Amino acid sequence: MARTSKMANCMCNAGHLLHSLMMDFQSSSEFNDAPQMLPPPPGTFVDREELIQHVGDFAVSQGYVVTIKQSKRDRVVVLGCDRGGVYRNRRKPVDESSAESLRRRKTGSRLTNCPFEAVGKKDDGLWKLSIKNGAHNHEPLKDLSEHPSARRFTEREVLLIKEMTEAGLKPRQILKRLRQSNPELLSTPKHVYNVKAKLRQGNVTVRNFKSLRPQKTAVRNNYQSVMEPSWRQRNPPVSFRCNPRQLRSRKPYPKLLGRVPNLIGGRFVDSKSLTSIDVVNPATQLIVSQVPLSTNEEVRAAVFAAKRAFSSWRNTPATNRQRIMFKFQELIRRDMDKLAMEITSEHGKTLTDAYNDVLRGLEIVEHACGVATLQIGEFVSNISNGVDTYSIREPLGVCAGICSFDFPAMTPLWMFPIAVTCGNTFILKPSEKVPGAAVILAELAVEAGLPNGVLNIVHGTDDIINAICDDDDVKAIALVGPNSDVADIYSRASAKGKRIQCNIGAKNHAVVMPDASIDATLSALVAAGFGGAGQKCMALTTVVYVGGITPWEDKLVEHAKAIKVNAGTESNADLGPVISKQEKERICRLIQVDTESGAKLLLDGRNILVPGYENGNFIGPTILSDVTVNMECYKEDVFGPVLLCMQVLPLISFSVGSLISKLVFVVKLHIFVSQAESIDEAIEIVNRNRRGSGASIFTTSAVAARKFQIEIAVGQVGINVPISVQPPFTLFTSSKPCFAGDLNCDGKGGIHFYTQIKTVTQQWKDLPGNVETPTSNSNGESLQLLNS
């Protein structure tokens, strides 16, 4: 009996224990199933705003909201958990002591209770995030829309409230208009009253109203809008005449002019540098904008952002990258007028030339839409027993492009569309003379869906170029620029082991044979020599007349005089100004030096005046004849609307006498031989010039054209057509020293430049433990060696 009772007690105790264990397990399971508020992962960020955005986005995904507890803007920022509780607005009960009331007030505050704290510090130009305390002592928010941060106004909304208040609108009317642009706005008229009260007190700073809720961007949410508004819309420039003394001193005009922003890590940000260069309209001398001389820290930040984006971008499917390019080319077509006007205002070229600039660049974007087919590798099956080998093309990593001013849209589009479509990330350094088109293109690329950090822009001059060349994370550099700069950049980048291609300004020739079609040849020479004010690398600057210039002289001058010189925005303009006052002075000096050296000035355009644009950098069409190879204009790149004429005279000498009828055959033979010697001399003149990138011949003789094609030593050859930029699917070639590097920028050469080959050999066999490696003996017979 006692034994039975004892067993019953034991079973009862076991039941209680089991029930207790079950309850503990259930409570533990419930605890594990509850959502955990994890701290954001530490990392390195380009700037303070990106760090705050990262912490804020991650916090919202975990069910809590962060706010700025402490900030020293250029050094450190401390972020804490914003619980969203009440402030100290609870009434004290009658029977509550002062100590109890103080305790309750503290526990009711938003920041006192939660120990979570994240710290961001600036180190060597980058912001590093660390978690000081990642724990929370409260439950995650079930509905973030109930949190007070969801009812705060953005910076733009506060400014709109200020403007509408001054216009006499009431809070409900203000709120109604704000909701038209932001339907998700949860604020009430009471919040509008609070903002108005602060504005009446003179507190116009909007920092207190900013929220850390996630911001919608074009990249993350695929909205068809640019991530940041244009810099001209944010801070429109005040146009006034440029003072040359201020230009030389490079002093900034604070708070007056729109500064062109950098693009770093997907954000358009103003440079920290206080020094800027004025961008001047060549036709009016009005300052269009300012280009900051960015710091080396900003270059490092751009390289870091590109390097961080590379790992995910290279793994993005090629079809997805191509879709972004399809959208990009669509947006370029949409904003063609905007791009052309920006080019004309900064560069000075006519609107027709500006449109052609954009269209040639657009062809490259269209080519990039199908670049995946050019990245296809090769496969060889069964090179040995059960062994296959194949090659694949992989992106290099972070690449960079340095642009010249002659083609503000086409040159950047030569570079980054192909590079990023191949899977690279890119840093672009536009010309400091014409930065606007490159920034507009970057805005369109971001709008098309290019992820943050894939494309970055840093403005500046030689210091920025040197920083790009010296950075070990930059794997390849594409460059278009003048001869004076290229040699130093090429040697500096090559010394760092970078892959580099340099396209240099050139002296292009045209050889005109006596039998050439007069009207067609003159039209081609005038268009190629004076188009774009001669400021393009493929301009025909020198014409070699075989047989003398006399039959061509008058008609050439007549065609040149028909060119209308005017500001690029005028509808009747054929020829715009040169890029700057300094360039105009240099071109005029070269003309004067060669005139004094014996050249004949057939047409002088130095003193041309354009009504309404008297201060513009205009030079009319200028023609110099009797030019020799020793003259300054021939030895240097004029890069202006100046056409140099040389002549090769046939050495024919015979006397006319009574026996002329008997010497017809001999004379004809003598003339043929003399012409052959003259075309040889013309070819020798072209080949002797070490800076010849292209050459054309104008003739009706297939024999002369074929001889010219075979013997001429340049990369681009034209027959009855001037030299022009080739379509992107063909290979743009140029001879050294006008090109430095091993791979060109167009066609398959461009794909090969931005990729590297990896060869893979594989074997799939069911073997007990050894793998056979194929080799060959001296007779080429396949051997099998066992590797244990």
329-340, pLDDT tens digit by residue? 999 999 999 999
- For the segment 715-724, the average pLDDT, to the nearest whole number, is 87
Of residues 346 and 550, more confidently modeled: 346
Of residues 235 and 269, more confidently modeled: 269
Tokens of 264: 């770093």
- d(CA 57, CA 41) in angstroms, rounded, equals 12
Q: How confident is the model at residue 140, as a pLDDT? A: 84
Residue 745 carries which side chain, given as an amino acid letter?
C
Question: Which residue from 470, 524, 457 is spatially nearest to 498, judged by alpha carbons?
Answer: 470
Of residues 748 and 635, more confidently modeled: 635
Kindly give the interhelix angle for 351-368 and 318-334, rounded to the nearest 10 degrees.
160
Whether the CB-CB separation of 228 and 7 falls below 8 Å is answered with no
Residue 152 has pLDDT above 60, yes or no: yes
- For the segment 632-652, the average pLDDT, to the nearest whole number, is 83
Residue 735 has pLDDT above 60, yes or no: no
Tokens of 504: 């240099």
Residue 27 has pLDDT above 80, yes or no: no
- d(CA 421, CA 678) in angstroms, rounded, equals 49
Tokens of 537: 């690398």
Kindly list the distances between the CA atom of residue 622 and the CA atoms of 147, 348, 591, 630, 633, in Å, as whole numbers in the listed order: 72, 18, 9, 19, 12
Give the DSSP letter of residue 331: H
Of residues 590 and 17, more confidently modeled: 590
Assign 3-class secondary structure to 224-238.
Answer: CCCCCCCHHHHCCCC
What are the residues facing 49 on neighbouring strands? Answer: none
Q: How confident is the model at residue 231 (pLDDT cuts 50, 70, 90)?
A: low
Q: How confident is the model at residue 230, as a pLDDT? A: 57
Q: How confident is the model at residue 93 (pLDDT cuts 50, 70, 90)?
A: low
- d(CA 569, CA 340) in angstroms, rounded, equals 10
- d(CA 663, CA 720) in angstroms, rounded, equals 34
At CA 120, angle to CA 119 and CA 121, rounded to 5? 120
537 classed as catalytic: yes
Bridging pattern class, strands 65-72 and 387-395: unpaired
Prior bond to 737 cis, omega within 30?
yes
Prior bond to 514 cis, omega within 30?
no
Q: What is the largest CA-CA distance in the chain?
A: 164
Kindly list the distances between the CA atom of residue 218 and the CA atoms of 181, 222, 225, 226, 230, in Å, as whole numbers in the listed order: 16, 5, 6, 6, 14
Of residues 438 and 253, more confidently modeled: 438
Tokens of 88: 């100290």
Whether the CB-CB separation of 120 and 77 falls below 8 Å is answered with yes
Q: How confident is the model at residue 775, as a pLDDT? A: 54
Residue 433 has pLDDT above 70, yes or no: yes
Residues 6+ apart with CB under 8 A from 23: none
Of residues 670 and 633, more confidently modeled: 633
Residues 6+ apart with CB under 8 A from 690: 737
Q: How confident is the model at residue 550 (pLDDT cuts 50, 70, 90)?
A: confident
Q: How confident is the model at residue 672 (pLDDT cuts 50, 70, 90)?
A: very low
Residue 175 has pLDDT above 70, yes or no: yes
- d(CA 476, CA 127) in angstroms, rounded, equals 26
Question: Which residue from 633, 623, 652 is spatially nearest to 553, judged by alpha carbons?
Answer: 623
Q: How confident is the model at residue 545, as a pLDDT? A: 94
- d(CA 696, CA 722) in angstroms, rounded, equals 6
Rounded percentage of the chain residues whose pLDDT exceeds 90: 45
Q: How confident is the model at residue 683, as a pLDDT? A: 93
Question: Which residue from 253, 342, 303 is spatially nearest to 428, judged by alpha carbons?
Answer: 303
At CA 353, angle to CA 348 and CA 359, rounded to 5? 125
pTM confidence score: 0.74
Residues 6+ apart with CB under 8 A from 39: 116, 118, 131, 134
Rounded percentage of the chain residues whose pLDDT exceeds 70: 73
Bridging pattern class, strands 126-133 and 43-45: antiparallel
- The count of other CB atoms within 10 Å of the CB of residue 456 is 31
Q: Yes or no: is domain 221-249+260-504 CATH 3.40.50.2000? A: no
Q: How confident is the model at residue 159, as a pLDDT? A: 81
Q: Find tokens 């340049």 and name the residue.
A: 714
Kindly give the interhelix angle for 336-347 and 436-448, rounded to the nearest 10 degrees.
160
Which numeric CATH code is attached to 508-736? 3.40.309.10
Residues 6+ apart with CB under 8 A from 403: 411, 412, 415, 428, 429, 430, 431, 438, 480, 481
Whether the CB-CB separation of 78 and 68 falls below 8 Å is answered with yes
Q: How confident is the model at residue 350 (pLDDT cuts 50, 70, 90)?
A: very high
Residue 661 has pLDDT above 60, yes or no: no
Alpha carbon 99 to chain centroid, angstroms:
63
Q: For 711, list phi and psi in degrees, rounded to 5.
A: -90, -15
Whether the CB-CB separation of 714 and 735 falls below 8 Å is answered with yes
Residues 6+ apart with CB under 8 A from 399: 419, 424, 425, 426, 427, 474, 475, 476, 477, 478, 754
- For residue 78, the SS3 value is strand
Of residues 541 and 241, more confidently modeled: 541
Question: Which residue from 79, 21, 25 is spatially nearest to 48, judged by alpha carbons?
Answer: 79
Highest mean pLDDT of the ranges 195-204, 415-424, 484-493: 415-424
- For the segment 694-722, the average pLDDT, to the nearest whole number, is 92
Q: How confident is the model at residue 739, as a pLDDT? A: 67
Q: How confident is the model at residue 455 (pLDDT cuts 50, 70, 90)?
A: very high
Alpha carbon 634 to chain centroid, angstroms:
34
Q: How confident is the model at residue 738 (pLDDT cuts 50, 70, 90)?
A: low
- d(CA 522, CA 512) in angstroms, rounded, equals 10
DSSP string, 105-139: HHHTSSSSS---EEEEEEETTEEEEEEEE---SSP
Question: Which class for 770: exposed (0-12), middle (13-18), buried (19 or more C-beta within 10 A)?
Answer: exposed
Residue 475 carries which side chain, given as an amino acid letter?
K
Buried b vs exposed e over 182-193: b needs ≥16 C-beta within 10 Å? eeebebeeebbe
Highest mean pLDDT of the ranges 20-24, 48-52, 109-113, 218-222: 48-52
Q: How confident is the model at residue 255, as a pLDDT? A: 37
Q: How confident is the model at residue 450 (pLDDT cuts 50, 70, 90)?
A: very high
Q: How confident is the model at residue 217 (pLDDT cuts 50, 70, 90)?
A: very low
Give the DSSP letter of residue 286: B
Name the strand (E) or helix (H) holding 519: helix 518-530
Buried b vs exposed e over 569-581: b needs ≥16 C-beta within 10 Å? bbeebbbbbbbbb
Question: Which class for 129: exposed (0-12), middle (13-18), buried (19 or more C-beta within 10 A)?
Answer: buried
- For the segment 692-705, the average pLDDT, to the nearest whole number, is 92
Of the listed 537, 633, 645, 738, which one is catalytic?
537
Q: How confident is the model at residue 684 (pLDDT cuts 50, 70, 90)?
A: very high
Tokens of 402: 């340095």
Q: How confident is the model at residue 428 (pLDDT cuts 50, 70, 90)?
A: very high
Residue 174 has pLDDT above 90, yes or no: no
- d(CA 446, CA 324) in angstroms, rounded, equals 9
Question: Which residue from 531, 469, 540 is spatially nearest to 500, judged by alpha carbons?
Answer: 469
Q: How confident is the model at residue 342, as a pLDDT? A: 94
Whether the CB-CB separation of 437 and 343 falls below 8 Å is answered with yes
- For the segment 351-374, the average pLDDT, to the nearest whole number, is 91
Provide the mean pLDDT of the chain.
79
- d(CA 501, CA 537) in angstroms, rounded, equals 16
Q: How confident is the model at residue 621 (pLDDT cuts 50, 70, 90)?
A: very high
Of residues 392 and 186, more confidently modeled: 392
Q: Do domains 221-249+260-504 and 508-736 have the same CATH topology?
A: no
Domain ranges in the chain?
A: 43-148, 158-199, 221-249+260-504, 508-736
- d(CA 424, CA 397) in angstroms, rounded, equals 5
